[in-house]
Every structure is written in C-alpha cells, then in structure tokens.
A and B are shown apart, each in its own frame.
Chain A
Amino acid sequence: QSVLTQPPSVSAAPGQKVTISCSGSSPNIGSNLVSWYQQFPGTAPKLLMYDNSKRPSGISDRFSGSRSDTSATLDITGLQTGDEADYYCGTWDYSLDSVVFGGGTKLTVL
C-alpha cells in the first residue's frame, strides 16, 4: 500500500483533458511540495513537474500541476497518443523521514 494514493488508471480521447489525482496526508503533501514523474515501459522515470506546479525545461505546457491541502493533481490537456505512460507523484514525508511515491497511474489515450 502506497502512502500516496493515485487512481490505477485513467483514460481519455486524443485532444481531451485528463486529471490525475494524488491524495496524501498532513506529513507529506500537507507539508511538502509535490513532484510528478512520467515513465514509459522499459525506461527510467522522467521528471515532469516539481514544486507542485513548475515544469522542467523541455516539458510541454500541456502539463500542469497543483496542490491543495493534502492532495495534488496533474492535468494533461490536448492529449496525444504519445502521452500514454505511467505517472507517479512523489514528495517527502516528515513523519516517516522518507520519500514517498504514489502507486502510479496508467494513462490510456483511447
């Protein structure tokens, strides 16, 4: 069981918008900034978002992030088939003194 809770899967049609949620609690999301990672099968994860809503250089502005209280969300607009991947949220948990990740969400672009 992951400390951060994500839906196992989400899906939407090309061109549409999808939202991936990440639910936590006070010691993690409630107190620390959230990052998001994109992972294609057989490859290493890639940083997609950091500090809740900042995009690293080279990441499309179709990706956006936010945090409210003990939850975070990743929005992807203008969905493309190339966005099909697994997405993970992560943050520091001060009660566990460790990094925690969500269980991951598989995005399918129908």
Chain B
Amino acid sequence: EVQLVESGGGLVQPGGSLRLSCVASGFTFSTYWMSWVRQAPGKGLEWVANIKKDGSKIYYVDSVRGRFTISRDNAKNSLYLQMNSLRAEDTAVYYCARDHQGAGNYYTDVWGRGTTVTVSS
C-alpha cells in the first residue's frame, strides 16, 4: 500500500523551530518529487515547498523562503521540513505529498494524513 506518514508537529512559541518528518512506503521514493502542503484552520490549501527526486532542485513559496528548508533522505525513504523563525501564521496542518512534476505539468497524487503545527505563546 502506498503510504505517507508525517510526524513532528506540535505547539511551539513564535520564533521557535520545529522539524517535520514524512516516511514513505509502498513505492520507490527516490523516483518522485515530493512536496509539503499546508492548510491553516478553516482555510484553503497552500503549497509550501517541493524537492526533486535527487534533491538537486528545490522550490519554496515566498512566505517561507529563508525560514523553512525542505530536504530528503532517499536511503531512509524520508522527507523533512525544517521550520525556523516560526510565526503565528504558520499554524496549520502540514501534509506530505507525492508529486508528479514536469514541463507544464504538476499534480499530487498521494497525500499523508497531516501533522498539526501550532505557533502560539
């Protein structure tokens, strides 16, 4: 069964840091782009970042660039999101997702259940 399982969410104070992890199973992790997508309470989906199969290309949404770092370890079938300088507006459910990305083409076909990040004092 194809599966993505996130962990690492929790309550953190503004300005703090958190590292999210996502473990993949049921498919060849190293052959897919991977994304983090978040959803603030009562709001829509917001793509955060994605990373190429071998980690050689990375993209970020402007609101997290310079604060968040996406990375992966293909040997461990794992995706990570290091989040620094957290703000209240980063409060959201964070989803790990499997991407299909190419010239003129993007979609996400597998999603994890999400992990909740709350930034509050």
Contact = CB atoms under 8 A, between A and B. Distances in A.
Given A44-B95, A44-B111, A44-B114, A92 B106 contact: yes
A63 interface: no
Interface of A: 2, 31-33, 35, 37, 39, 43-47, 50-51, 56, 86, 88, 90-92, 96-104
* Interface size grouping (class) on chain B: 20 to 34
Chain A, interface SS category:
strand
B107 A90 contact: yes
Contacts of B56: none
A103 B50 CA distance: 20
A98 B70 CA distance: 14
Contact of B45 (A32, A33, A37, A96): A37
Contact of B113 (A44, A91, A97, A102): A44
B111 A50 contact: no
A43 B47 CA distance: 17
A34 to B, nearest CB: 9
B93 to A, nearest CB: 9
Contacts of A100: 47
B49 to A, nearest CB: 9
Interface in B42-99: 44-47, 50, 59-62, 95
B1 interface: no
A50 B100 contact: yes
B44 A98 contact: no
B26 interface: no
Contacts of B45: 37, 39, 45, 88, 90, 101, 104
